[in-house]
A and B are shown apart, each in its own frame.
Chain A
Amino acid sequence: MLEAQNLACVRGGRNVFAGIDFSLAAGDVLSLHGPNGSGKSTLLRLLAAFLTPALGTISWAGVDIRSNLAEHRARLHYVGHADGIKALLSVKENLAFTCALNGAGNGALDRALKTFDLENLVDTPGRFLSSGQRRRLSLARLVAGDRRFWLLDEPGVGLDADSRKRLENAVDGHRAKGGITVLATHGDVQISDTRVLELVT
Chain B
Amino acid sequence: MKAFIAILRRDIKLSLRSGMDSAQPLIFFVVALTLFPLGVGPSPETLERIGVGVIWVLALLAVMLSLDRLFQADAEDGTLEQLALADLPLELTVLAKCLAHWLMSGLVLVIASPLLALLLHQSPETSSVLALALLLGTPVLTLIGSIGAALLIGARRGGVLIALLVLPLYIPILIFGVNAVEAEVMGLGGSAQLLILGAILLAALALTPFAAAAALRLSME
Contact = CB atoms under 8 A, between A and B. Distances in A.
Interface of A: 48, 50-52, 70, 73-74, 76-78, 80-86, 88-89, 93, 96-98, 100-103, 141
Given A83-B78, A88-B17, 7 more contacts: A50-B220, A77-B85, A80-B81, A82-B78, A101-B82, A101-B85, A102-B87
A100 B85 CA distance: 12
A86 B10 CA distance: 10
A78 B86 CA distance: 11
25 contacts: A48-B81, A51-B221, A74-B85, A76-B85, A78-B81, A78-B85, A80-B78, A80-B81, A82-B76, A82-B78, A82-B81, A84-B78, A85-B77, A86-B14, A86-B79, A88-B14, A88-B18, A89-B13, A93-B10, A101-B7, A101-B85, A101-B87, A101-B88, A102-B86, A141-B82
| Most A C-beta atoms less than 10 A away, residue of B2, B81, B82 | B82
Nearest to A138: B78
A70 B5 CA distance: 20
Interface in B1-28: 2-3, 5-7, 10, 13-14, 17-18
A179 B3 CA distance: 24
B84 interface: yes
Interface in B69-110: 74, 76-79, 81-89
Given A73-B84, A74-B87, A80-B78, A89 B2 contact: no
B154 to A, nearest CB: 13
B74 to A, nearest CB: 8
Contact of B89 (A70, A80, A82): A70
B59 to A, nearest CB: 27
Nearest to B18: A88
Nearest to B17: A88
B215 to A, nearest CB: 14
Contacts of A86: 10, 14, 77, 79
Interface residues of B, number: 26
Interface string B113-137: 0000000000000000000000000
A101 B83 contact: yes
A32 B198 CA distance: 54
A82 B77 contact: yes
Nearest to B80: A84
Given A51-B221, A80-B81, A82-B81, A101 B86 contact: yes
B6 A100 contact: yes
A168 B18 CA distance: 37
A97 B78 contact: no
A86 B12 CA distance: 13
Given A86-B14, A88-B17, A89-B13, A100 B2 contact: yes
B12 to A, nearest CB: 12
Given A50-B221, A82-B76, A89-B14, A101 B81 contact: no
| A-B interface, 9 closest residue pairs, ranked by CB to CB distance from nearest | A82-B78, A100-B6, A101-B86, A84-B78, A84-B79, A103-B87, A88-B17, A50-B220, A73-B85
Contacts of B79: 84, 86
